[in-house]
Amino acid sequence: MTLLRATGGCTFAEDPARDAPRARIIWRAALDPAALEVDAAPTAAKDPERFDPARLAPFLTIARHATGREYAVLSDGRRRIRLDVVTGSLQEGAVVLSYRLAGIHGAKARVLTLRRLLALCVHARFSPSLFPPDPRVARWIEALRVHDALEAGACQREIASALWPDLAWREGEGGDAQRSRLRRLVLEARALAAGGYRELLRARR
């Protein structure tokens, strides 16, 4: 369990030196439409309806606000499930979870989170079929690489060479399409770095 360190839209932000598969970032629910609010009621260890935090401990990270409210993320490094514990605690043994869902459009992402959570509880692993690949991720990774290159002082030719090593940099009119592609990535990278990254969770609903 970790006390909250709020920054950049997170209720809990990891040490930036930690590699991505091991990082556990807990975004504020206002930025993460898939965050599922739950109430946790203590129950017997043999209750068939129990949620057992100890069983899922390798995946579970919990952050606690000064008010006592808990925020949790279950992740294997590639996939994640976000829970806001409105009442009760996930740190005191087995519990029965009640799920807070309301509305129509607002509930869609949370219903998917609930399905993912139920599958994880049953199988003790993340269900690949409930986490389909997002085709936009490759573009976001390119933008991140461009941002890092710009911060390091790289020129356009150097950035293009790193991104597309099999495509020779072309000067003049012959390279217009390549430069246009790179300019779009530069604009996207700067927009993400300026705070646009907070919209990525909404974009993945």
52 has a pLDDT exceeding 70:
yes
Checking if the pLDDT of 160 tops 60, the result is yes
pLDDT per residue as tens digits for the range 19-34: 777 777 777 777 788 9
Report yes or no: 69 and 88 within 8 Å, Cβ to Cβ.
Answer: no
129-165: b (≥16 Cβ within 10 Å) or e: ebbeeeeeeeebebbbebbebbeeeeebeebbeebee
Position 42 scores a pLDDT of 96
Band (4; pLDDT cuts 50, 70, 90)? very low
Pick from 19-28, 143-152, 188-197 the range whose average pLDDT is largest.
Answer: 143-152
What's residue 178's pLDDT? 80
pLDDT in tens, 92-133: 999 999 999 999 888 999 999 999 999 999 999 999 999 998
Own/partner long-range contacts of 101-108 (Cβ < 8 Å, ≥24 apart): 101/36, 106/33, 108/205
Q: Give, to the nearest 10 degrees, the angle between helix 156-163 and helix 176-193.
A: 90
pLDDT in tens, 73-103: 999 988 999 999 999 999 999 999 999 999 9
DSSP code per residue over the chain: -EE-B-BTTEEE---TTS-GGG---EE-TTT-TT-EEEEEEE--TT-TT-B-TTTTTTTEEEEE-TTS-EEEEEESSS-EEEEEEEES-SSSS-EEEEEE--SSHHHHHHHHHHHHHHHHHHHSS--GGGSPPPTTHHHHHHHHHHHHHHHTT--HHHHHHHH-TTS----GGGGHHHHHHHHHHHHHHHHHHTTGGGGHHHHT-
The label of the residue with tokens 């605690």 reads 89
pLDDT tens string 63-80: 888 777 899 999 998 899
Residue type (1 letter), 89: S
Q: What residues contact residue 120 under an 8 Å CB cut-off, 6+ apart?
A: 56, 59, 74, 81, 126, 127
pLDDT of residue 175: 64
